[in-house]
Amino acid sequence: MSITAEKTTKWLIYFILAIATVVFLLPFVSVLATSLVSQQEWMRRGAFILLPEKIDWTAYKMVLFKSSLIWGAYKVTLFRVVVGTALNLAVTSMLAYSLARRALPGKNAVVTFIFITMIFHGGLIPTYLLVKYIGLQNSLWALILPSLVSAWNTFIMRNFFLSIPVELEESAVIDGASNARVFTQIIIPLSLPSFATIGLFYAVHHWNEWFQASIYLNDTHKYPVQVFMRNILLSGSLQDEQMDMMDQLPPAETLKSAVIMISTLPILVLYPFIQKYFVKGTLVGSVKG
């Protein structure tokens, strides 16, 4: 390929990527602009707005300062992300480390059983009945304990543990270290990339997941951010008895757009910094199968 053809191909790729970027950004810009328009401008210009004539913060003031539910929802979400991710990593890493031990009796049967759960699920009704009978209904723990371990993440972490030279463990055992000490002082420090990647997978899942809260929780003050956003998107209004009366309410679409921006902004800001870990996560544990 000549130099001219190579440059042409490169600029063509850049042009296609630029067009794709604009197409992907248009919905986000439209939602952001819609969240900043007033009632009069919305009635005059319609649904699709890319640049508001005048910025109006009424919808954000209504959601952030006139409603107490949004802050409670953020607290619930942060609790779920922090506590849930910590427990997910603890249980998943211990299970994966056990399955990575070559001398574990019945290891193949346990691996097969866990793999079957990736294909066949118990179903919604048995899961709901189990959560109800063990007393987790309308409890924040119902958002964490039923999904404590992911089979897929367990296999990824197991394969990463298998890539660690077994000689390191054998030397530690010869020196008198117990299995728990080998795991905490040798395996975990060597597996920090795996913990970071799997932890991000769990954290993003906890941040985005809304279905469990919608079926297990009855108290609206225990709803996470995503359920709070979903209810507003469906109803088009804030259903909060503590909200003060306002002289002029924003249009329903403006309110919906503001809630979308508020609920997605934290993860949107963090994503550029953690994207490399998501890319790396597709390679973690691929050395050995």
Residue 198 CA to residue 278 CA, distance in Å, equals 9
In a domain, 170, yes or no: yes
Using the CB atoms, write b or e for 148-178: b if 16+ within 10 Å.
Answer: eebbebbbbbbbbbbebeeeebeebeeeebe
**Residue 242: per-residue pLDDT:** 44
Is 203 in contact with 77 (CB distance < 8 Å)?
no
**Residue 37: per-residue pLDDT:** 81
Is 223 in contact with 1 (CB distance < 8 Å)?
no
In a domain, 5, yes or no: no
In a domain, 52, yes or no: no
Q: Which two tokens stand for residue 162?
A: 């298998």
Domain count for the chain, please give it.
Answer: 1
Q: Which two tokens stand for residue 149?
A: 């371990």
Predicted model pTM: 0.77
**Residue 19: per-residue pLDDT:** 92
Angle between helix axes 69-99 and 107-119 (nearest 10 degrees) is 140
In a domain, 41, yes or no: no
> Which residue segment(s) compose the domain that 89 sits in?
60-289
Q: Return the half-sphere exposure (C-beta side, CA atoms, 13 A cut-off) of residue 226.
A: 17
Nearest to 152 by CA among 106, 102, 227, 202: 202
Three-state DSSP class for residue 175: coil
Let me know if 228 is exposed, middle or buried by CB neighbors in 10 A (0-12, 13-18, 19+): buried
**Residue 94: per-residue pLDDT:** 92
In a domain, 75, yes or no: yes
Nearest to 57 by CA among 27, 41, 37, 71: 37
Classify the C-alpha dihedral 252-258-263-268 as positive or negative. Answer: positive
**Per-residue pLDDT for the chain (289 aa), expressed as one digit of tens each?**
567 777 888 889 999 999 998 888 888 888 888 888 877 777 777 667 777 778 878 778 777 777 667 788 888 999 999 999 999 999 999 999 988 887 788 888 888 888 888 888 778 888 889 898 998 888 999 999 988 999 999 998 898 888 888 888 888 888 888 888 888 888 888 888 888 888 888 988 898 888 888 899 888 888 888 888 787 777 655 555 444 445 556 677 777 788 888 878 777 777 777 666 666 555 554 544 4
Q: Give the distance, in angstroms, between the CA of residue 102 and the centroid of all CA atoms in the same chain.
A: 33
Is 158 in contact with 285 (CB distance < 8 Å)?
yes
In a domain, 50, yes or no: no
In a domain, 43, yes or no: no
**Residue 91: per-residue pLDDT:** 94
**Residue 82: per-residue pLDDT:** 93
What's the CATH code of the domain at 108? 1.10.3720.10
Secondary structure of the chain: what % helix, strand, coil (to 5)? 70, 0, 30
**Residue 7: per-residue pLDDT:** 81
**Residue 88: per-residue pLDDT:** 95
Three-state DSSP class for residue 109: helix
First to last CA, the chain: 39
Q: Give the distance, in angstroms, between the CA of residue 265 and the centroid of all CA atoms in the same chain.
A: 13
In a domain, 231, yes or no: yes
